Amino acid sequence: MVAYINQSHPLHLKAKKLFQRILKKEFKPVLSSQNLLELTAVLVEAFKISKKQAVKDVELFANDPLFEIIYPNHNVLNNFFSLMEKGISLHTVDAFLLATAMENRVEIIITNDKKWKKIKEITTVLLI
């Protein structure tokens, strides 16, 4: 999402093409509450956008009917603990995101983080 919002981002054109596919309804995009939290943090901390403006920007995604928003539940926490105990090779926050995706039956993660390609629990497509 950051690559789509930030026109100077090196992956902006790829992100823009991905969003064009979303607008054509080629697939149903899913965002987690964690994705929205992370986007808000990046806008405020990295891009120095005011909290008020960041919330307005993020709400555009959160309230767009094109996106399904998923949330963690008690089973997500148990799945997260299991992933951590197995020694999953993701950052702790990403492991929680994976657990949320798995619990909500998300089939594919689209990311620019190469670490996700090593994860066997879900299909990963790299934006890069």
Number of structural domains (the chain) is 2
- 14 and 57 inside one domain: yes
- 6 and 44 inside one domain: yes
Average pLDDT for 10-32: 91
- 83 and 114 inside one domain: yes
- 9 and 66 inside one domain: yes
Closest CA to 126 of 104, 118, 83: 118
Tell me: the pLDDT tens digits for 58-100?
999 999 999 999 999 999 999 999 999 999 999 999 999 999 9
Tell me: the pLDDT tens digits for 38-47?
999 999 999 9
- Alpha-carbon distance of 50 to 61, in angstroms, equals 17
Residues of the domain holding 54: 2-70
Q: Read off the pTM.
A: 0.86
- 62 and 86 inside one domain: no
- Alpha-carbon distance of 18 to 13, in angstroms, equals 9
